[in-house]
């Protein structure tokens, strides 16, 4: 795993935006894995800027969302499909239909079938080339809460109180935050060819340190990144506050050969 400590969110956005632009230049038909929440926003802003400047095009690219709330109207501004449409698609040149999220409208057995269909769609697209990830303060990735199987696939999950409280800032009240979600599983996420996890702010420091330097454990879903051959963790200084090996990460990145990329 590579850990990169950057000065601030904007520097993280530029670094990861550059990696995505490089990928799309190498492979215009690349498949991106998109995360929501506040963390990936600097990356999306950087990609919008690069697209406007003609540095990158998404004309042949495709993308899959990590997760989605269950029970929100599809046009609810906090539905993740609406979030990605607003924060990324509106500012870059994805063709229509190129960005997909899990269909969470069915209920019962049909919802389970819809989760399987989502897995199939990702597989049929050739798998995800670069998966963006944030991290919850409880160590979750996507909406895989602590205790999620490290082999899990796309499925229905129940949010912890901690996650509902963390996400309540996006809603009018805690009661409005859905209890249920559909998320790609940890096993699904691990099949992406490159994982890029971002974390900003001191409130993420403990979770990211456990994920990177603690034991691999279902109770810390993000620790599954340790099992991946190409995982990059990009943090700002406050989020790096609890690393034991921070100096080593800094020195490694400072002396990295330029040709290596992320």
117 is catalytic: no
- Enter the DSSP assignment of 217: B
E-strand stretches of the chain: 2-6, 31-34, 62-65, 67-69, 99-100, 130-133, 155-158, 180-183, 194-199, 231-236
Q: How many residues belong to the site for ligand GLP (CB under 6 A)?
A: 14
140 is catalytic: yes
228 is catalytic: no
Given the residues 138, 166, 194, 236, select the one marked as catalytic. Answer: 138
* Binds ligand GLP by CB under 6 A, chosen from 131, 148, 160, 163: 163
Query: Based on CB atoms, which residue is closest to ligand GLP, 115 or 248?
Result: 115
Query: Based on CB atoms, which residue is closest to ligand GLP, 33 or 58?
Result: 33
Q: What are phi and psi of 16, to 5 degrees?
A: -75, -35
Nearest Cα residue to 64 out of 188, 242, 178? 188
Do 128 and 193 meet the contact criterion of CB atoms below 8 Å apart? yes
**Taking the complex as a whole, how short is the minimal distance between the CB of residue 33 and ligand GLP, in angstroms?**
11
Given the residues 87, 119, 140, 166, select the one marked as catalytic. Answer: 140
2 is catalytic: no
Coil/strand/helix, residue 141: strand
Query: Based on CB atoms, which residue is closest to ligand GLP, 18 or 184?
Result: 184
Coil/strand/helix, residue 84: helix
Coil/strand/helix, residue 233: strand
Residue 169 has, within 13 A of its CA and on its CB side, a CA count of 6
Residue 154 in the binding site for ligand GLP (CB under 6 A): no
Residue 13 in the binding site for ligand GLP (CB under 6 A): no
Taking CB positions, which residue lies at the least distance from ligand GLP? 134
**Taking the complex as a whole, how short is the minimal distance between the CB of residue 37 and ligand GLP, in angstroms?**
3
* Binds ligand GLP by CB under 6 A, chosen from 136, 139, 178, 185: 136
Residue 67 in the binding site for ligand GLP (CB under 6 A): yes
**Taking the complex as a whole, how short is the minimal distance between the CB of residue 167 and ligand GLP, in angstroms?**
5
Q: How far are the Cα atoms of 80, 135, 246 from residue 38, in angstroms, in the given order?
A: 12, 11, 24
Which residues form the interface with ligand GLP (CB under 6 A)?
35-39, 66-67, 134-136, 142-143, 163, 167
């Amino acid at each position: 795993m590579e850990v990169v400590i950057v000065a601030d969110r904007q520097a993280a956005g530029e670094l990861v935006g550059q990696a995505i632009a490089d990928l799309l230049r190498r492979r215009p038909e690349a498949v991106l894995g998109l995360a929501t929440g506040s963390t990936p926003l600097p990356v999306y802003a950087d990609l919008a800027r690069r697209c406007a400047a003609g540095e990158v095009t998404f004309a042949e690219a495709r993308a899959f969302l990590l997760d989605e709330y269950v029970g929100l109207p599809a046009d609810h501004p906090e539905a993740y499909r609406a979030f990605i449409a607003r924060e990324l698609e509106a500012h870059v040149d994805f063709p229509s239909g190129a960005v997909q999220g899990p269909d969470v409208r069915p209920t019962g057995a049909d919802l389970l079938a819809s989760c399987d269909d989502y897995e199939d769609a990702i597989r049929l697209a050739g798998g995800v080339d670069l998966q963006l990830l944030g991290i919850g303060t409880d160590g979750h990735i996507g909406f895989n809460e602590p205790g999620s199987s490290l082999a899990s696939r796309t499925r229905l999950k129940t949010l912890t109180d901690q996650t509902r409280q963390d996400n309540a800032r996006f809603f009018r009240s805690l009661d409005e935050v859905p209890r249920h979600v559909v998320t790609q599983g940890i096993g699904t996420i691990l099949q992406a060819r490159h994982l890029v996890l971002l974390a900003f702010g001191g409130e993420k420091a403990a979770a990211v340190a456990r994920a990177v330097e603690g034991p691999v454990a279902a109770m810390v879903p993000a620790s599954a990144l340790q099992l991946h051959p190409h995982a990059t963790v990009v943090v700002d200084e406050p989020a790096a506050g609890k690393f034991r090996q921070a100096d080593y990460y800094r020195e490694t990145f400072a002396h990295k050969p330029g040709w290596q990329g992320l």
